[in-house]
């Protein structure tokens, strides 16, 4: 089959999927969204492959040109596998969250100006320091709850500055925006994330803001977490799709900052990276004290809190 026929076939398949998913009394908006995202992913993989092969045409040495084309083919194959895995992960999420479209109603009158959820308190001026021993060296994450705010969808959000350094060199610089509704749920309204190399910003991947380009806010911490709760923490299709799940309310752990019991443990995952799963541990009155990356085995621990 000629690769140029693939996009047309995919679009035809999507048309049938959307027609069946959105017809009848029970409309599966979530499933249709998953398949539409799959189509975009496949088209992107084909587009990237064709561009890579075009670049290969300008390689004069025959062995290098062949190697270039093979690399393009291999990358396309890997990208298409990723598309397939993402579709399966999104469908799994739909099975648990249901078929309805994700469009949480946001009323600014339903939000306060402070965040005091016991498991996710954000007191301006507080600084948290975390450390992770990674394969590339010691990673240090300094999280500062600033006194700055940002209006998003009419809601006053607290701005949190997150600076990650690797072996003492700044690698990521992020601003996150949170707000708490009157019921006590903490909502995540977006982030501005910068990846830094050699002192220069090289990537803004993962950045999003609720209300921009179809992005929606999500809940990062429930007012009264219960085992089995599952919720979207953020939503910008193709960029930010994190899912939270409550696993336990009675964990214990020891980190450099101290020993804790009665911890809330969640599982964080994303259809964008189906293999990347984290367990996060929250202490009442403090917030996150530990994160465990189940894929790499890396453990992030709370070192200090400066109130």
- Note the pLDDT tens digit of each residue in 214-273: 999 999 999 999 999 999 999 999 999 999 999 999 999 999 999 999 999 999 999 999
Tokens of 133: 């021993």
Tokens of 115: 């965040």
- Note the pLDDT tens digit of each residue in 185-221: 999 999 999 999 988 998 888 899 999 999 999 999 9
Please report the domains of the chain, with CATH numbers, ordered by start residue: 3-97 (no CATH), 108-306 (2.40.360)
Tally of CA atoms within 13 A in the half-sphere of 204 that contains its CB: 7
CA 147, CA 144: separation in Å to the nearest integer?
9
CA dihedral of 5, 82, 30, 111, whole degrees rounded to 10: -130
Task: Write the CB contacts of 54 (distance below 8 Å, at least 6 apart in sequence).
Answer: none
- Where is 181: in which H helix or E strand? none
> Backbone phi, then psi, for 154, in 5-degree steps?
85, 0
Tokens of 247: 């696993």
pLDDT band at 25 (very low <50, low <70, confident <90, very high): low
pTM over 0.85: yes
pLDDT at 206: 86
């Amino acid at each position: 089959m000629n690769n140029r026929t693939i996009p047309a076939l995919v679009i035809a398949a999507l048309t049938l999927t959307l027609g069946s998913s959105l017809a009848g009394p029970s409309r599966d908006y979530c499933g249709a969204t998953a398949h539409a995202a799959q189509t975009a992913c496949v088209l992107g993989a084909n587009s990237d492959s064709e561009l890579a092969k075009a670049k290969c045409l300008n390689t004069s040495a025959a062995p290098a040109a062949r190697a270039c084309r093979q690399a393009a083919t291999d990358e396309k194959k890997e990208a298409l596998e990723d598309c397939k895995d993402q579709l399966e992960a999104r469908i799994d999420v739909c099975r648990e969250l249901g078929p309805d479209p994700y469009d949480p109603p946001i009323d600014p009158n339903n939000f306060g100006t402070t965040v005091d959820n016991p498991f996710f308190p954000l007191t301006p001026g507080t600084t948290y320091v975390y450390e992770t021993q990674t394969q590339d060296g010691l990673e240090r994450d300094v999280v500062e709850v600033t006194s700055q705010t940002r209006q998003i969808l009419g809601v006053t959000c607290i701005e949190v500055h997150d600076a990650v350094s690797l072996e003492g060199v700044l690698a990521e610089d992020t601003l996150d925006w949170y707000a708490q509704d009157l019921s006590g749920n903490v909502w995540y309204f977006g982030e501005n994330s910068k990846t830094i190399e050699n002192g220069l910003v090289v990537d803004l991947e993962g950045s999003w803001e609720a209300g921009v380009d179809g992005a929606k806010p999500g809940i990062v911490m429930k007012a009264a977490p219960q085992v089995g709760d599952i919720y979207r923490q953020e939503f910008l299709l193709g960029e930010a799709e994190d899912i939270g799940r409550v696993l336990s309310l009675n964990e214990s752990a020891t980190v450099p900052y101290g020993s804790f019991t009665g911890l809330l443990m969640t599982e964080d995952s994303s259809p964008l990276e189906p293999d990347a799963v984290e367990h996060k541990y929250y202490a009442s009155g403090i917030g996150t004290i530990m994160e465990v990356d189940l894929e790499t085995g890396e453990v992030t621990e709370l070192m200090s809190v400066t109130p």
